[in-house]
A and B are shown apart, each in its own frame.
Chain A
Amino acid sequence: MLEVTCNDRLGKKVRVKCNPDDTVGDLKKLIAAQTGTRHDKIVLKKWYTVFKDHIKLSDYEIHDGMNLELYYQ
């Protein structure tokens, strides 16, 4: 289990618990459930890397306590 922090720097900052073998899409759904945003509107970024939905967190080397940038489309 790992916990990532997602911040949109507009007033929303959520900490989400997830498994390392979850996909980014799953994470988005979890974030959506916590924030109330639609999951398909969420874009997760780290610097200029836009995380794609079908790839696992472990493959992106997302670890416990990491900060992800939360954007909307």
Chain B
Amino acid sequence: MGSKKHKKESKKKKHRSRSRSPLDGEERERKRHKKHKDRKKDRSPDVEEVPVDSHLQKDSNGAAHSRSRSESRSHSPPPEIRQTHREISKEKERSPEGGTAQESLSIEETNRLRAKLGLKPLEVAEKPADDGKIKDDLGEFYHKPAANIAQQKKADKLREKLEERREKRKLEKKLQTTLLAEESDDEDAIAWVKKSRELEKQKREAEKRAAMLDELDAEFGVSALLEEEQAAERQRRYDETQLKGLRVAHDIDALGDEREVVLTLADKPVLAEDAEDVLVNVNIVDDERYRKNIEERKKARAGYQAYDEEAELQASLGFQRPVLSKYDEEIDKGKSDKQRGFIIGDEDSIEAKKFRELMRQERIQGGPDKRLESLQLPALRPATDYFDEHEIQAKFKKPKKKGKMRKRPKEEPIDVEDYDAGAVPLDTDDTDVKPSELKMEIAVDDEEVEPDSELQAALARARRLRQMEEQQLNVPKVEEILEHVKEVKEEEMETESSGTMVLDATAEFCRTLGDIPTYGLAGNRDHHAEIIDFEREEMETEAETAGDNAGAWSRVDVRSERAPDLAAGSSVALDAEPALGGGVAGALQLALSKGYLERAGTAPAPRPAPHQLAARHYSIEDKSHTGEDDKYGRRERGHSGPLQEFREKSGFRPHVKLEYVDDDGRPLCPKEAFRYLSHKFHGKGPGKNKQEKRIKKAVQEGLMKKMSSTDTPLGTLQMLQEKQRETQSPYVVLSGAKRDHK
């Protein structure tokens, strides 16, 4: 015990040192309790029984806590408090289950107890309940009470009934007819009589007065005067000046000049504020309405028109282009009506209007500097089977035949059909023409050219004239015939004369012929020997320029000496076949030219293709593309490619076979090919194991292929055959002993 006390002391010290708050004492107290608790618990499971009110009293005193504690424990509780405790226990409500005791005090008792403790009494009355609103758990918000459906129904029924009653009453009231007898009471009758009498009296008096006034007038002769005046007035009132300022709602053109038109005042709304009197004619109004309806129907049918002629016209006349003009009438309905028509007597405005119209017409007709053109094309119509007059006249005008038709004009050295146009030097041409080339004129069949020689001649003349014009520009330079200058000049000429282009049958043929792939391979076209160095140079430059202005047509230079060269090329390309009849030499020559024989010695270098004959836009790639085009065209028609199938390719069924080989050249099956390509594509090969496996497989396959089908791998059959040959017997003796074997 002593040791414990010692401990307590130390605790006390600690607390004192820690804080000196008023709670200090209490806290200390609690600590001590804790100390004691363990001991008590050991003794009994129940809590120490303490007289109920003893500590309460002390609490209310609020002083000397620790002291009283020890006292209360040592002393027995005061008798009166004990009694209360007993009372409470008497009122204990024993719960059905034995062990647990449930005590509940009544409200009065609790209140008494609370009074003793110094607390306010319980709030028994639940106030919020009585006003029908229920507060929520926190007491903050009122809940709206749920509607009583039964009550609502009842109320509804009642209301319906009332409504019905009211309706009934209304109807009755309406249908009720007041009988005359019922209506007129005695009083009313008297009043009515009085009233009628009064009225009668007044009438009579008025009459009397009027008569008196008349009499007076007659006496002074005023009445006659008045009457006259009135008549004059009436006469005066109605003439055209009276109508001045009145508006007629029709155009002045609508009213015929000579015709008489009856105009009436138009109807107008009663409540309209600014309603002026407007004169209309019923028939014209009907006409206008009819016309407007038709117009509107037309407009509705037309719908939206991007290029409305009317709008275009308006815009061109400087008016603002209307936007969605079809709604204009809806927007300002009355406005157009008000502006329409003319005002009687307002001559100026009518004149002005007329003038404006005139101007407009004039402008539409086209001013001095303006021409209007419609965007509408002439209407399409089906072609007739017959000519109309104009066509007949145009078609069957027989050309007058000239007498000298068959004769070839002498003054025409240039013909379109052949290439000697360039070979024959023109007067102003500065190119020096070699005599050898001049000789190379090809004889042209006259008969072939004959039929349209006239036309050709005309064309050639025109062309020549044109070329002459161009050349005249170069006249001052003609005199200089120095070599280096000439070259420069030629280049110039080439650039200058790029406008002229000559087409003819040969060129056309060559163009369609395209690049002959086998041309010159046989070595029979050793044309390059004939080409002089200078020409070759020129050809090179030509090739360079050709790359620049690659067109469908190769240009034929008429004046330069390239032309004869070209002619020579064409002559070579279309060489005459060597005659076979000329003996062995001829045959040999033919064989050589056909490529059956190879010339001994060096293989002739394939001469450059005669590019002037080659079509610019024709190549081997093109050929391959046509096949592809065909395919694509079939697949995605309408997107690209030809719309029509090639007639000549109707039987064309390309046989496509995709073959893949691996790095060693082995053919691959589709699966392998896919794998191979996939590896290639992803840049990631198979693993080492896989590769080995594959190699092994390939080796096996190779062995299998090598293996003979008639013998075993060890060559048993062969050995057997050898043995048989050795022994000269059709059999072999197989002995069991190993040593004897074979």
Binding site for B on A (CB under 8 A): 1, 3, 5, 7, 10-19, 22, 26, 29-30, 32-41, 58, 61, 63, 72-73
Contact = CB atoms under 8 A, between A and B. Distances in A.
B96 interface: no
A11 B101 contact: yes
B56 A72 contact: no
A14 B103 contact: yes
B486 interface: no
Contacts of B46: 10-11
A7 B103 CA distance: 11
Contact of B30 (A7, A16, A63, A73): A73
Nearest to B95: A13
Contacts of B49: 36-37
Residue of A38, A61, A73 with most chain B CB atoms under a 10 A cut-off = A38
B531 interface: no
Nearest to B55: A38
B88 A34 contact: yes
Nearest to B51: A36
A73 B120 contact: no
Given A17-B122, A22-B119, 17 more contacts: A1-B122, A1-B124, A11-B99, A13-B101, A13-B102, A16-B104, A18-B110, A19-B122, A29-B59, A30-B110, A32-B55, A34-B88, A36-B51, A38-B50, A40-B33, A41-B47, A73-B34
A40 B103 contact: no
B53 interface: yes
Interface string B650-661: 000000000000
Contacts of B103: 13-15, 34-35
Contacts of B599: none
Contact of A63 (B33, B48, B110, B137): B137
Contact of A14 (B47, B104, B139): B104
Contact of B114 (A12, A14, A30, A41): A30
Interface residues of B, number: 42
Interface residues of A, dominant DSSP:
mixed
B85 interface: yes
Contacts of B126: 1
B50 A15 contact: no
Nearest to B89: A36
A36 to B, nearest CB: 5
A35 B101 CA distance: 10
B47 A37 contact: yes
Contacts of A15: 102-104
B465 interface: no
B37 interface: yes
Interface in B72-101: 85, 88, 95, 99-101
Contact of A12 (B48, B56, B100, B139): B100
A13 B47 CA distance: 14
A33 B33 contact: no
Contact of A19 (B30, B47, B59, B123): B123
Contacts of A30: 110, 113-114, 117
A36 B85 CA distance: 7
Contacts of A1: 107, 122-124, 126
27 contacts: A1-B107, A3-B104, A13-B101, A13-B102, A14-B102, A15-B104, A17-B107, A26-B117, A26-B119, A29-B117, A30-B110, A30-B113, A32-B56, A33-B52, A33-B53, A34-B105, A36-B52, A36-B85, A36-B88, A37-B49, A41-B33, A63-B137, A72-B37, A72-B47, A73-B30, A73-B34, A73-B37
B62 interface: no
Given A36-B49, A38-B55, A17 B105 contact: yes
Q: Which 3 A-B pairs have the closest CB atoms?
A: A15-B104, A13-B102, A14-B103
Residue of B51, B53, B100 with most chain A CB atoms under a 10 A cut-off = B100
B363 to A, nearest CB: 93
B702 interface: no
Nearest to B45: A10
A34 B50 CA distance: 11
Contacts of B114: 30
A38 B33 CA distance: 12
A46 to B, nearest CB: 16
Contacts of B138: 61
B278 to A, nearest CB: 85
A36 B50 contact: yes
A33 B138 CA distance: 29
Nearest to B54: A38
Contacts of A14: 101-104
Nearest to B111: A17
A5 B30 CA distance: 26
B92 to A, nearest CB: 9
A39 B50 CA distance: 10
B105 A7 contact: no
A16 B52 CA distance: 15
Contacts of B120: 19
Contacts of B52: 32-33, 36
Nearest to A36: B52
A10 to B, nearest CB: 7
A34 to B, nearest CB: 5
A14 B95 CA distance: 11
A33 B107 CA distance: 14
Contacts of B30: 40, 73
Interface string B107-133: 100100110110110111010000000
Contacts of A32: 52, 55-56
Residue of A33, A35, A72 with most chain B CB atoms under a 10 A cut-off = A33
Contacts of B55: 32, 38-40
Contacts of A3: 104
A33 B48 CA distance: 14
Nearest to A40: B55
Interface in B26-44: 29-30, 33-34, 37
Contacts of B29: 40
B34 to A, nearest CB: 7
